[in-house]
Amino acid sequence: MDAVQAANSGHPGMPMGMADVATVLFSDYLKFDPTQPKWADRDRFVLSAGHGSMLIYSLLHLTGYARPTIEDIAHFRQLHSPCAGHPENFELAGVEATTGPLGSGLATAVGMAIAERHLNAQFGDDLVDHRTWVIAGDGCLMEGINHEAIGLAGHLNLGRLIVLWDDNKITIDGAVDLSSSEDVRARYEATGWHVVSCDGHDVADVRRALAEAVADPRPSLVACATKIGYGSPNKAGTSGVHGSALGEAEVAAAREYLGWDAAPFVIPADIAAAWKAIGAKGFQTRCEWEERLRAAPAHIHTEFERRMGGFLPDDFSLEAYIDSLIAAPQKVATRKASELTLGAINDLLPETLGGSADLTGSNNTKTKSTGPLTKDDYSGRYVYYGIREFGMACAMNGMALHGGVIPYGGTFLVFSDYMRAGIRLAALQQQRVIHVLTHDSIGLGEDGPTHQPIEHVMSMRMIPNLDVYRPADIVETAECWELALKDATGPSVLALTRQNLPQLRTQKSENLSAKGAYRLVAAGADRKVVLIATGSEVEIAVDTAKALEEQGIGADVVSMPSWAHFDAQPQSYKDDLLPHHVLRVSIEAGTTFGWERHTGIAGLRFGIDSFGASAPAEALYDHFGLTAAKIAPQIVAALNN
């Protein structure tokens, strides 16, 4: 309450209400060692109710993590303090996940729990044997993603996942019953969970409940009856204590009520010592675990550390696979190309963990080396996520945060809208999560406008730290997959076609997609035009260039699978590729919004700025004017203007 008061901003209610429960968790159950926050076999703790960030900052400080210091805490919510408004994994080693967007933390924890069981199946109890703990509030439970997350966890019977529900009966707008009449316990039970309740302010009762949760083979919900803002004599139990500082007078009243004499940011020595002792408990356990790791066969030890470190094998290369493509060109959809690439990748990388939100046969995400991951066999490398896109995205985030696996998952590109908040969290958390998003334009045909992405590719290009790839053929698909795998610091999206595309790259070369854009075809005649295209429209650009060359108009074709990689190139490379003195033309079967960056205002932009339509793909390309026959004359007209 002092940190929130100092900032005059923040959420005192949850930290005060859940302090008793968290104390029991950290004292008696959580396996951790503050001196080695990244110890692989530590329990994972996710504060899904991220607005209560002062709770975890307090716990990390008290138990002896190097950061946050008490000064960090005194600068809660100030620029450059690691004690940000909501907990951020990239700021503090003890923060396992960035939370705040409600429900996403719990869903992320489901992914951590899957990764734990998966690695346990691969490396055994000696090396992988930990739990995942979550503190969640009513908001986390009311969000739709909660249904997806607990459905998946229940189905996979993730018994090492325990959710502590801050059952305080308060939301921001007032009492929970203002907006919900649900029997939460019954809902969790209906989904295969074990449910136990306790008085969140009775330490013995909390301990009993946690013991029951640990003992039960199912995932557990522990309903902790608490009073929000406990200790604040005049505001506890009201929505007024949720998201505002108590005010000086009420802080003083709370000190009085709690019998707390110490000044703000002063921890009495006896209390500091008791917490340090709690923090020291895990040291011995961690040392024993390290002994077991050292005692393991060398190749296991090495492999485990490689996997948990997120390093690809030194000899990982798709060169042989790409050589085989060059040797025998083929016309396939890029979703199929992705499947073929994944066949090679999954054989080389045991850490890939695939899946799809019930579109396996459409996303082409399953390969022969990835058997299903089930509650009876967690060693499988393929998750049937069900019709749970957002849940899948957050679970993948949790897998990546846990470490030891590289998650990828598929759905239709248009449904990136369902999980956009999860994709953004992967980018913010700097996690290697790979989204295989197929059916990436009107080229999917008959399913019509509800299923046809228009703004999706462009709108994801502007999410910071997200790499969006739209490969033009089977070779670019392999190149983009390679780039996605090699970037350990952020997520990637692969936008892939339903329809077949010719192989445009038939010469052996370096990874040209790494530059983001490159000259695929050089003008024959005197260059007047540069055609810039992505994905399935590169073929159309090539045809358009031919039509222009037939009229003596020289046209380069530039394939641009990644805007982000291109933006990172030296200006000289960009100027050479897209010179300002020629007519620059973009062709992409999506919004033209944003293409001014590469064409200039004076250039031409061919795309679709309305919703799509239901018809076979060829009919749609013609209808929306995206054919060489319709584009070339407009370029000629512009040149003659």
**Least distance CB 590 / a copy of itself (angstroms):** 9
Residue 417 engages a copy of itself in binding (rule: CB under 8 A)? yes
Q: In the window 380-409, what residues touch a copy of itself (CB under 8 A)?
A: 384-391
Q: Which stretch binds a copy of itself (CB under 8 A): 14-22, 39-47, 200-208, 588-596?
A: 588-596
**Least distance CB 36 / a copy of itself (angstroms):** 27
**Least distance CB 171 / a copy of itself (angstroms):** 5
Give the Cα separation of 49 and 97 in Å (integer): 11
Residue 420 engages a copy of itself in binding (rule: CB under 8 A)? yes
Q: Which stretch binds a copy of itself (CB under 8 A): 117-125, 257-265, 458-466, 525-533?
A: 458-466
Question: Closest Cα partner for 226 from 213, 236, 212?
Answer: 236
- Our CB check for a copy of itself shows the closer of 153 and 548 to be 153
- Our CB check for a copy of itself shows the closer of 174 and 633 to be 174
Amino acid (1-letter code) at residue 380: G
Give all strands of the β-sheet with 604-606 in edge-to-edge order.
518-521, 554-559, 527-533, 583-587, 604-606
Residue 57 engages a copy of itself in binding (rule: CB under 8 A)? no
Residue 139 engages a copy of itself in binding (rule: CB under 8 A)? yes
Give the Cα separation of 410 and 224 in Å (integer): 36
Q: Is 51 annotated as a binding residue?
A: yes
Q: Is 102 annotated as a binding residue?
A: yes
Q: Which stretch binds a copy of itself (CB under 8 A): 74-82, 268-276, 279-287, 293-301?
A: 74-82
Residues 6+ apart with CB under 8 A from 81: 68, 72, 75
Q: Which residue of 447, 487, 543, 549 would you call a contact of a copy of itself, by CB under 8 A?
A: 447
- Our CB check for a copy of itself shows the closer of 283 and 384 to be 384
Q: Is 138 annotated as a binding residue?
A: yes
**Least distance CB 361 / a copy of itself (angstroms):** 7
Q: In the window 153-192, what residues touch a copy of itself (CB under 8 A)?
A: 154-155, 171-174, 178-187, 189-192
Q: Is 498 annotated as a binding residue?
A: yes
Report whether 390 contacts 145 (CB < 8 A): yes
Residue 623 engages a copy of itself in binding (rule: CB under 8 A)? yes
Return phi, psi of residue 225, to 5°: -70, 115
**Least distance CB 288 / a copy of itself (angstroms):** 36
Give the Cα separation of 123 and 304 in Å (integer): 8
Q: Which residue of 356, 367, 503, 544 would you call a contact of a copy of itself, by CB under 8 A?
A: 356
Q: In the window 313-352, what residues touch a copy of itself (CB under 8 A)?
A: none
Report whether 443 contacts 621 (CB < 8 A): yes
Residue 195 engages a copy of itself in binding (rule: CB under 8 A)? no
Tokens of 504: 């445009």
Give, in order, the Cα–Cα distances in Å from 129 to each of 39, 475, 599.
12, 41, 55
Q: Is 580 annotated as a binding residue?
A: no
Residues 6+ apart with CB under 8 A from 195: 185, 188, 189, 220, 221, 223
Give the Cα separation of 58 and 9 in Å (integer): 16
Buried b (16+ CB within 10 A) or exposed e, 83-107: bbbbbbbebbbbbbbbbbbbbbbbb
Q: Which stretch binds a copy of itself (CB under 8 A): 111-119, 201-209, 378-386, 523-531?
A: 378-386
Q: Which stretch binds a copy of itself (CB under 8 A): 292-300, 530-538, 549-557, 592-600?
A: 592-600
Give the Cα separation of 108 and 561 in Å (integer): 30
Q: In the window 228-287, what residues touch a copy of itself (CB under 8 A)?
A: none
Residue 572 engages a copy of itself in binding (rule: CB under 8 A)? no
Question: Closest Cα partner for 588 from 631, 536, 623?
Answer: 536
**Least distance CB 297 / a copy of itself (angstroms):** 36
Q: Is 271 annotated as a binding residue?
A: no
Helix (H, G, I), strand (E, B) or coil at 496: strand
Q: Which residue of 463, 483, 521, 531 would you call a contact of a copy of itself, by CB under 8 A?
A: 463
Residues involved in catalysis: 389
- Our CB check for a copy of itself shows the closer of 496 and 548 to be 496
Report whether 472 contacts 559 (CB < 8 A): yes
- Our CB check for a copy of itself shows the closer of 221 and 478 to be 221
Bridge partner list, 412: 438
Helix (H, G, I), strand (E, B) or coil at 246: coil
Tokens 């062709």 locate to 587
Residue 354 engages a copy of itself in binding (rule: CB under 8 A)? no
Q: Is 170 annotated as a binding residue?
A: yes
Report whether 566 contacts 519 (CB < 8 A): no
HSE-up of residue 455 (Cα within 13 Å, Cβ side): 9
HSE-up of residue 252 (Cα within 13 Å, Cβ side): 3
Residue 101 engages a copy of itself in binding (rule: CB under 8 A)? yes
**Least distance CB 547 / a copy of itself (angstroms):** 24
Q: How many residues bind a copy of itself (CB under 8 A)?
A: 109
Tokens 């530590």 locate to 42
- Binding-site residues for Mg(2+), in ranges, read 138, 168, 170
